[in-house]
Structure 1
Amino acid sequence: MAYITKRGSSYGVRYTYQDEQGKNCNKWESFSTKEEATNRKKQIEHELANGTFLIPSTITVKEFLMEWLPKQCNKHKWAPQTYQSNLGTVQNLIIPYIGDMQMQKLKPYHLEDLYSTLSKTPCGQYLEGKKQVLSEKQQQRLLSGTTIHEVHRLLRTAFQYAVEWGILIKSPVPVDSPKKSIQERAIWDADEMWAALASMEDPILHLAVHLTLVGALREGEVAGLTPEDLDFEGADGTGTFRINKCM
């Protein structure tokens, strides 16, 4: 049961609930009008009766995410680079903006505001959670839609766990995700490729770029090549190379 008590010009709703350990706890909530207090009383009694009452929690977005990340890493056996990437997203793109907000007070419009803010934010504004001093040129390079989409993806996954853990009744993450950026890339033709190679005097750079073009390699695959991956006598003297790792 919940009870309404008038205190001066305000109205308080008093009720008892059980915490995670089954201990009875008393709670007061204050409202400026009797109508608000009455509506809240009915809501509390309904939720207590059907088992949907949300145990009050003051945990912030920062506290939750920094607890959730290592648990997810251990549970799903993330690679170190996956953990560092997600940690960077949390530290640099989420915590500086909504980290101090309480989880139970978050609404979808708060996250829509976050996405809007990020769309106007320069890349590298925060590094390891610390605000950086950017040059005028750096300030002109804004976060991409793809990056903001990744923020949305991470929050959607994290807040689903918050529901499972009983911190939230429903996730506040908007249904519609920010659109990814689509950027067309220019591709060299054969003449441009040979012209570029002819301009390179450094033999190591020449070899790296040549292998990249011939094998359609990614940056990490080129950086991961070692001497034993190159066989200059393979394929009857034509030569071969093997891609089996990346850096």
Structure 2
Amino acid sequence: MAHKRRLFGSIERRPGGYRARYVGVDGRRYDAPHLFLTRIDAEGWLSEVHREVLQGTWRPPQRDTGQGSELEFLSGFARRCIAERDLTPRTREEYEKLLENLILPTLGDVQLRFLEPDRIRRWYSTVLTDDKPTQRKHSYSLLRSILREAEEEGLIERNPCRIRNAGRVRRTRDIEPASPVELNRLLDLPARQGLPVLLAGWCGLRAGEVRGLRRRDLDLSEGVVHVRQAITRTKGEVHIGPPKTTAGIRDVGIPPHLLPHLAKYVAKLPVAGRDGFLFPGQDGVSPMSEKALRYAYDQARKVTGREDLTFHDLRHSAASLAGMTGATTAELKSMMGHATAGMVERYQHANRASRARLAENMSKLADQ
């Protein structure tokens, strides 16, 4: 049965009952404090509110100071979301910084139900700047995931984060992956300096994963390195724990030409025990420090002549080299420790050799 258009407020059928809402004298939208079992009950409630408006006795509903009301606002709900997530210390610290510095100062005092797409777009275009694309992407992605939880809990009807491609980062510079010849020059360095960098360049390990390797993680008979933990640093504290994501726990094949060098290095390590770190610090017990790894990489860049590459760029090199051998997307995902194929694509590049080979093969078509 069709209902006449209401002159004051609106009523909508929702799972579990009827929701009544109206626009107050102050221009703000208000919902009834609960769902009504029948439409006539919702009609009665709106009629009573309308009567107060006409008589001039209406006042904005008082905001409850209890825990429930705090979750109606982005600040309270977002902080609860982060607190309840199972995150590594480093990721938790990063999320909290993004939340407190970039999201909540502008949007924190807004009720979840009033977070409309236009408001999100204004925040995205004014607060988040183009000169920090990665920070911009992570801030938007965090907000989108928080509001996705709000949608799943029924606190909002639909996630207002709808900016197309906002969660992507455009590459700001072209990366020319290191070649096999350049990487093999690292074998001329002392093993303590060259091998950590080689495991990043050939196997795609992150800096924290290299530092977190233990002797038991290196299987020279099978030619495999087991990535089971990583080292991060937050607020001056060193944390040793599992990789950032479940996909980061993986087994990666070691190119055979590296195995003799790794075996020779392990045989000379002063401290015995499979639980010992593969690349220990000066005390022989603690893991290699960030400073030591930076120094090793500085030496590596001088030897290879690739001052343009960062340590993280070596992951691009590993993915590119694996791709040149014909690795499938699934194999690259496993090797790089990524959960999605989209992340793998970021690390694939056409280097000089592959470009030349492609051009040569295309030219052959002209001779047919």
User: Which TM-score tier does this pair reach, normalised by the shorter chain?
Assistant: 0.5 to 0.7
5 Å-filtered alignment, 1:58-77, equals: 59-71=72-84, 73=85, 77=86
5 Å-filtered alignment, 1:40-59, equals: 48-49=42-43, 59=72
Contact 2:82 2:96 in 1 (8 A): yes
Root mean square deviation of aligned Cα? 4.4
Q: Name the structure 2 match of 1:209.
A: 197
1:94 equivalent in alignment to 2:103: yes
Contact 2:199 2:205 in 1 (8 A): yes
The verdict on how the C-alpha distance between 1:46 and 1:61 changes in structure 2, with shifts beyond 3 A counting, is farther
Opposite residue 162 of structure 2, the aligned amino acid is P
**Offset, 1:178:** 0.7
From 217, 226, 233, the counterpart of 1:243:
226
Cα deviations across residues 188-240 of structure 1 (Å, max 9, x unaligned)? 11332244554x5x542222113323333232321121234446xx45xxx95
The verdict on how the C-alpha distance between 1:60 and 1:177 changes in structure 2, with shifts beyond 3 A counting, is farther
Q: Name the structure 2 match of 1:186.
A: 176
Opposite residue 183 of structure 2, the aligned amino acid is M
Q: Secondary structure at the residue paired with 1:174?
A: coil
Q: Secondary structure at the residue paired with 1:116?
A: helix
From 7, 25, 29, the counterpart of 1:30:
25
The verdict on how the C-alpha distance between 1:210 and 1:68 changes in structure 2, with shifts beyond 3 A counting, is closer
The verdict on how the C-alpha distance between 1:46 and 1:170 changes in structure 2, with shifts beyond 3 A counting, is farther
Contact 1:152 1:177 in 2 (8 A): no
**Offset, 1:160:** 3.8
Q: Number of matched residues?
A: 180
Q: Normalization by structure 1: what TM-score?
A: 0.53
Partner Cα separation in structure 2 for residue 161 and residue 240 of structure 1: 43
Partner Cα separation in structure 2 for residue 244 and residue 160 of structure 1: 31
**Offset, 1:62:** 1.2
**Offset, 1:112:** 0.7
Partner Cα separation in structure 2 for residue 217 and residue 69 of structure 1: 27
Q: Secondary structure at the residue paired with 2:25?
A: strand
Contact 1:118 1:143 in 2 (8 A): no
Q: Name the structure 2 match of 1:143.
A: 132
The verdict on how the C-alpha distance between 1:152 and 1:28 changes in structure 2, with shifts beyond 3 A counting, is closer
Partner Cα separation in structure 2 for residue 217 and residue 68 of structure 1: 30
Q: What 5-or-longer segments of structure 1 have no aligned partner?
A: 5-12, 15-26, 122-141
Contact 1:62 1:95 in 2 (8 A): yes
Q: Secondary structure at the residue paired with 2:109?
A: coil
Contact 1:61 1:103 in 2 (8 A): yes
**Offset, 1:118:** 4.5
Q: Secondary structure at the residue paired with 1:243?
A: strand
Opposite residue 158 of structure 1, the aligned amino acid is I
Partner Cα separation in structure 2 for residue 245 and residue 175 of structure 1: 36
Opposite residue 106 of structure 1, the aligned amino acid is L
From 99, 103, 106, the counterpart of 2:115:
106
Partner Cα separation in structure 2 for residue 179 and residue 157 of structure 1: 11
Q: What 5-or-longer segments of structure 2 have no aligned partner?
A: 1-6, 10-21, 31-38, 46-60, 64-68, 231-368
Q: Secondary structure at the residue paired with 2:24?
A: strand
Partner Cα separation in structure 2 for residue 64 and residue 188 of structure 1: 45
Opposite residue 182 of structure 2, the aligned amino acid is E
Cα deviations across residues 163-209 of structure 1 (Å, max 9, x unaligned)? 455543444322534151243432111332244554x5x54222211
Contact 1:94 1:151 in 2 (8 A): yes
The verdict on how the C-alpha distance between 1:95 and 1:212 changes in structure 2, with shifts beyond 3 A counting, is same
Q: Secondary structure at the residue paired with 1:242?
A: strand
Q: Secondary structure at the residue paired with 2:226?
A: coil
Q: Name the structure 1 match of 2:329.
A: none
Q: Greater RCO between the two (CA within 8 Å, min separation 6)?
A: 2
Opposite residue 205 of structure 1, the aligned amino acid is Q
Cα deviations across residues 130-181 of structure 1 (Å, max 9, x unaligned)? xxxxxxxxxxxx321x543443333333224434555434443225341512
Q: Normalization by structure 2: what TM-score?
A: 0.38
Contact 2:75 2:109 in 1 (8 A): yes
Partner Cα separation in structure 2 for residue 61 and residue 230 of structure 1: 46
Cα deviations across residues 12-39 of structure 1 (Å, max 9, x unaligned)? x89xxxxxxxxxxxx99325xxxx89xx
The verdict on how the C-alpha distance between 1:194 and 1:162 changes in structure 2, with shifts beyond 3 A counting, is closer
The verdict on how the C-alpha distance between 1:48 and 1:81 changes in structure 2, with shifts beyond 3 A counting, is farther
Q: Secondary structure at the residue paired with 1:92?
A: helix
